[in-house]
Amino acid sequence: MWRTTVKGLMAHKLRLALTALAVVLGVGFIGGTYVLTDTINKSFDELFADTTQGVDVFVRSDTAFESQNASGSGDREAMPEEVLETVQGVDGVDTATGSVGGYAQLVDKEGEAIAPQGPPTLGFGYPDDETTENEDSAVTMRAGREPATSDEVMIDAATAEDHDFSVGDSVDVLFEGPKRTFEVVGIIGFGEADNLAGATLAVFELEAAQELFNKEGTLDSIEVTAEEDVSPGELRNRIATAVPDGIEAQTGDYIADEQSDSVQEALGFFNTALLVFGFISLFVGAFIIFNTFSIVVAQRTREFGLLRAMGASGRQILGSVLVESVIVGFLASLVGLVAGFGIAAGLQAMLRVFGLDLPSTGLVFEPRTAIIGLTVGVLVTLISAIGPARRASRISPMAALREASPQQATFSRKRLLVGASVTLIGAAILGAGLFVSLDNAVSYVGLGAAVIFFGVTALSPLFAEPLARAIGAPIQALLNVPGKLARQNSRRNPKRTASTAAALMIGLALVSMVSIFAASIKATSSRILDENLKADFIITSSAGGGFGGFSPEIAAGAAEQHEIGAVAAVRYGEFRLDGASRFLSATDPDTIEEVTSLGVVEGDVGDLDGGGVFLSTDVAESEALTVGDDLTMEFPADGKTDVPVDGIFETTDIVGSDFLVSLDTYAEQYTTNLDSVVLATVASGVSTDDARAAIDTATSDFPNVTVENQAEFKETQAGLVDQLLGLITALLALALVIALLGITNTLALSVFERTRELGLLRAVGMSRRQARSMIRWESVIIAVIGAVLGLVVGGVFGWALVTSLADEGISEFAVPTGQLIAYVVAAGAAGIVAAIPPARRAARLNVLEAIATE
């Protein structure tokens, strides 16, 4: 049996290759995801090990947790300068250097703010001549010297290179305070690396930095090196006992681990998100494998019958097909893992296009990647082959004697029943995930969707016939015989047509669901802005996606312009509620209601000046709080604090969170005070143009912000949604490619199966062109069936998703009709491409051999 299996495999290399390709791509994507995230992890690990190199102990203030500020760096309270002397006095300390850090954004020579997508824009202050004094330090001086005066700066080599700065140039730098101009006196690198994980760096003289970051008389951290005979752990203990309460000492290794842990946590989500797309691809691939094995088993009916007649048992036939699937799965997974390297590089390039610039060194291949890739690849192939293998094992020895033509598939009542029940079960699981609050809602949604796909696939032969008839009608009218034959062929075996189309259905269902979701978000956001936003101008960070903070000077400057009416800034802060990370918004209580409606249900926003908090109706309900109660919020600086609830508001969308406090309250809890949004109105009696000119003047010093009117802002918001949609669609493209491969595969097998028929057609006068056209249009019909089914399923998914999120504020259900139609057209066009190889094969067929085929 083993020999027959191997011989059978070798005899059908094309079939083998096409089946394998689906597995190769799926495993490749999964492998690629692991390779990419492992690579990023490793490069961060190395980076943090480098940056803490040569430092034995870090001293810093003790915080409840480290929050992220608007400029993308950690926010930690500063400590008094006196601590440095205390540390220096500890026995075993060789050197101790204090430093401060903060938001400092460089402006390039064209006047544009330099904004890396994701990584922070960091500023540091070090005492003169101490940065590179430590010989073990990773910091290397590339050119020039360290800043010695308050108008000198040292920048990282990557920024210098990218923006053409060299020693002696002057550079503008943006801070929380006003913009300042410095002279570049030095350029630094970090060993081999030109910068720190993509962050831009501006290093100032310590005293200058303290002033620039509003940290006079304080330090953010102290880097300590130990004397030779003292271990870092020992020294850490000694320092910890010496420093006052609220200050902690940690070893350099600890800090490196802490930093890479936080990166890994962030990457974990990213990894999972990418893996989801990998598994979707494999899921689609499973349909292709199932399909190929089904067709092949049908075509080999006679061969299996002969084997049975010669004494092979049903089990042996079953085993033979399953072994074939394992071999295919294993080989394909191996190739897939190799392809994973390419896919990792491709993903990286794609993410860069979408604005996520991640550092990387050489690609990292962990054994785990191989184990998961091979296991998943083999299992998916094996499971997909079980059904066809069982069918093969039931072929009777009599089949060897019968005419070999594959049987017409019939649609059984049983299939209808099973398909409908599976679909309903899937819908129930999906519904539970969406509408019932469960712990693991996302898993339920995913499982439900997968089950629905199986159910609809089982049902799809029912739709395939009428759909093929309908879609084929215009093609037949237009193309005469080739069109007619294309239409007839696609109807001939509805089961095969349907399961081929099903693979495409899955991809298109997901794409159209996401499109509907995106359109609904856009419609909702547009409506919310229309109904609530009173501001005429919206100022946001010009860094990618509107994320990132900017100086409060901008809001202050705008408020000074007499053409401008009310101005309110909004900034965000991270805090913890019952241990879970949440975000709060802070704004000016006196002006916020002039620039937007908050939908206040209870209380007076002006009361926020007293240090209280406004809660959204949702949070007030879930936390069972009313005005006058206290909410226990955990802040980075003060830890758990009871904050009085001053009021309840409905419209959370514009301020951006469920918790609203005053800017003063914010300043008490966070060290960095950067605005994320500034809303402003035109003063009464002033023309919009004049007001616009005024606000442009107010922001002229700050190239890191964008001023937009309502219409422009809306467009930008929609653009962000579209960008995300584009990213998801690009990731789903792999599943779509696999589905198209499935069409190619099915048609190739069909062409092989219909060799005689094609020969006859050619003999009686069908031209090669017509033969190609016939196959091409059959492909288009299959693809459009898949697209139409996908739109229907995706439409239902989209509707369910949007409906379930009504509570979260997505109140509009919008269907992007034009986009969906475009998908169907694109699917048809893709069908033409998928048909190229089988169509060519059909056209090249040797007429004589074809009609001589038994």
Partner 1 sequence: MQSVKEEAVPRPVQRIASRAVDVAKVYGAGSTAVRALDGVDMEFETGKYAAIMGPSGSGKSTLLQCLAGLDQVTSGVIYLGDVDVTSLNEKHRTMLRRDKIGFIFQSFNLIPSLTAKENITLPMDLARRKPDAEWLDGLLDIVGLKDRLRHHPSELSGGEQQRVAAARALASRPEIVFADEPTGNLDSKRGGEMLAFMRRAVKEFGQTIIMVTHDPIAASYSDQVVFLEDGKIVDLMEGPTVEKVLDRMKTLES
The Cα–Cα gap between 103 and 551 comes to 9
Smallest separation (angstroms) from partner 1 to the CB of 454:
29
**Region from 198-206, 254-262, 756-764, 832-840 binding partner 1, contact rule CB under 8 A:** 756-764
Smallest separation (angstroms) from partner 1 to the CB of 845:
11
686: buried, middle or exposed (CB in 10 Å: 19+, 13-18, 0-12)? Answer: middle
Please select the residue that binds partner 1; options are 722, 756, 799, 819, rule is CB under 8 A.
756
**Strand pairing class (180-190; 152-156):** parallel
The Cα–Cα gap between 301 and 403 comes to 10
Torsion, Cα 164 169 172 175, to 10 degrees, reads 100
User: What residue has token string 């739109």?
Assistant: 791
Nearer to partner 1, 484 or 534 (CB): 484
Nearer to partner 1, 468 or 528 (CB): 468
Helix or strand holding residue 836 (H, E) = helix 836-844
- 407 is a contact residue toward partner 1 (CB under 8 A): no
Q: Do residues 183 and 153 touch, judged by C-beta distance below 8 A?
A: yes
Please select the residue that binds partner 1; options are 441, 757, 799, 837, rule is CB under 8 A.
757
Smallest separation (angstroms) from partner 1 to the CB of 485:
7
Residue 602 pairs in a beta bridge with 648
User: Collapsing DSSP states into helix, strand and coil, what is residue 572?
Assistant: strand
Please provide residue 623's backbone torsions phi and psi, each rounded to the nearest 5 degrees: -95, 0
The Cα–Cα gap between 571 and 663 comes to 8
Smallest separation (angstroms) from partner 1 to the CB of 479:
10
**Region from 120-128, 227-235, 757-765, 796-804 binding partner 1, contact rule CB under 8 A:** 757-765
- 833 is a contact residue toward partner 1 (CB under 8 A): no
The Cα–Cα gap between 485 and 57 comes to 79
**Strand pairing class (170-174; 105-107):** antiparallel
Q: Do residues 154 and 187 touch, judged by C-beta distance below 8 A?
A: yes
Nearer to partner 1, 15 or 762 (CB): 762
Smallest separation (angstroms) from partner 1 to the CB of 415:
22
How many other C-beta atoms can be found within 10 angstroms of the C-beta atom of residue 277? 22
- 469 is a contact residue toward partner 1 (CB under 8 A): no
- 764 is a contact residue toward partner 1 (CB under 8 A): yes
DSSP 59-100: EEE--SSPEE-TTSSEE---EETHHHHHHHTSTTEEEEEEEE
Rg (CA), the chain: 33
The Cα–Cα gap between 4 and 392 comes to 14
Nearer to partner 1, 423 or 493 (CB): 493
User: What residue has token string 């074809």?
Assistant: 850
User: What residue has token string 């896919």?
Assistant: 343
- 767 is a contact residue toward partner 1 (CB under 8 A): yes
Smallest separation (angstroms) from partner 1 to the CB of 835:
18
- 829 is a contact residue toward partner 1 (CB under 8 A): no
Nearer to partner 1, 175 or 752 (CB): 752
**Region from 358-366, 603-611, 762-770, 806-814 binding partner 1, contact rule CB under 8 A:** 762-770
Count of chain residues binding partner 1 (CB under 8 A): 23
- 761 is a contact residue toward partner 1 (CB under 8 A): yes
Of 185, 177, 216, 215, residue with least CA distance to 202: 185
Nearer to partner 1, 593 or 778 (CB): 778
Smallest separation (angstroms) from partner 1 to the CB of 752:
16
Cα-based angle 320, 324, 328 (whole degrees, multiple of 5): 170
Nearer to partner 1, 408 or 437 (CB): 408
Nearer to partner 1, 449 or 766 (CB): 766
Smallest separation (angstroms) from partner 1 to the CB of 429:
40
Smallest separation (angstroms) from partner 1 to the CB of 476:
11
- 848 is a contact residue toward partner 1 (CB under 8 A): yes
Of 513, 508, 596, 547, residue with least CA distance to 783: 508
Smallest separation (angstroms) from partner 1 to the CB of 409:
14
The Cα–Cα gap between 788 and 792 comes to 6
Nearer to partner 1, 60 or 496 (CB): 496
Nearer to partner 1, 415 or 756 (CB): 756
Q: Is 480 left (phi over 0), alpha (psi -120 to 50) or beta?
A: left
Nearer to partner 1, 483 or 548 (CB): 483
Please select the residue that binds partner 1; options are 566, 751, 766, 801, rule is CB under 8 A.
766
Cβ neighbors of 650 (< 8 A, separation 6 or more) are 598, 599, 600, 601, 616, 617
Please select the residue that binds partner 1; options are 762, 772, 776, 841, rule is CB under 8 A.
762
**Strand pairing class (580-587; 659-662):** parallel
Smallest separation (angstroms) from partner 1 to the CB of 509:
30
- 622 is a contact residue toward partner 1 (CB under 8 A): no
Nearer to partner 1, 240 or 851 (CB): 851
List the x/- string, 472-511, binding to partner 1 by CB under 8 A: --------xx--xx--xx-xx-------------------
How many other C-beta atoms can be found within 10 angstroms of the C-beta atom of residue 578? 8
User: Collapsing DSSP states into helix, strand and coil, what is residue 753?
Assistant: helix
Q: Do residues 388 and 499 touch, judged by C-beta distance below 8 A?
A: no
| 3-state secondary structure labels for all residues of 466-519 | HHHHHHHHHHHHHHHHHHHHHHHHHHHCHHHHHHHHHHHHHHHHHHHHHHHHHH
Cβ neighbors of 192 (< 8 A, separation 6 or more) are none
Nearer to partner 1, 475 or 543 (CB): 475
The Cα–Cα gap between 262 and 252 comes to 16
Please select the residue that binds partner 1; options are 386, 441, 836, 851, rule is CB under 8 A.
851
Nearer to partner 1, 509 or 761 (CB): 761
Smallest separation (angstroms) from partner 1 to the CB of 748:
19
The Cα–Cα gap between 660 and 612 comes to 9
Smallest separation (angstroms) from partner 1 to the CB of 14:
24
Smallest separation (angstroms) from partner 1 to the CB of 388:
23
**Region from 112-120, 730-738, 767-775, 780-788 binding partner 1, contact rule CB under 8 A:** 767-775
**Region from 295-303, 370-378, 759-767, 823-831 binding partner 1, contact rule CB under 8 A:** 759-767
Nearer to partner 1, 349 or 764 (CB): 764
**For the chain, how are helix, strand and coil distributed in percent, rounded to 5?**
60, 20, 25
**Strand pairing class (639-649; 613-616):** parallel
- 768 is a contact residue toward partner 1 (CB under 8 A): yes
Nearer to partner 1, 223 or 778 (CB): 778
List the x/- string, 13-52, binding to partner 1 by CB under 8 A: ----------------------------------------
Q: Enumerate the H helices of 138-251 as residue ranges.
A: 157-162, 206-212, 232-242
Please select the residue that binds partner 1; options are 367, 579, 685, 765, rule is CB under 8 A.
765
- 760 is a contact residue toward partner 1 (CB under 8 A): yes
- 286 is a contact residue toward partner 1 (CB under 8 A): no
Nearer to partner 1, 221 or 476 (CB): 476
- 721 is a contact residue toward partner 1 (CB under 8 A): no
**Region from 124-132, 439-447, 755-763, 793-801 binding partner 1, contact rule CB under 8 A:** 755-763
Binding residues for partner 1, rule: CB under 8 A, are 480-481, 484-485, 488-489, 491-492, 756-757, 760-768, 770, 847-848, 851
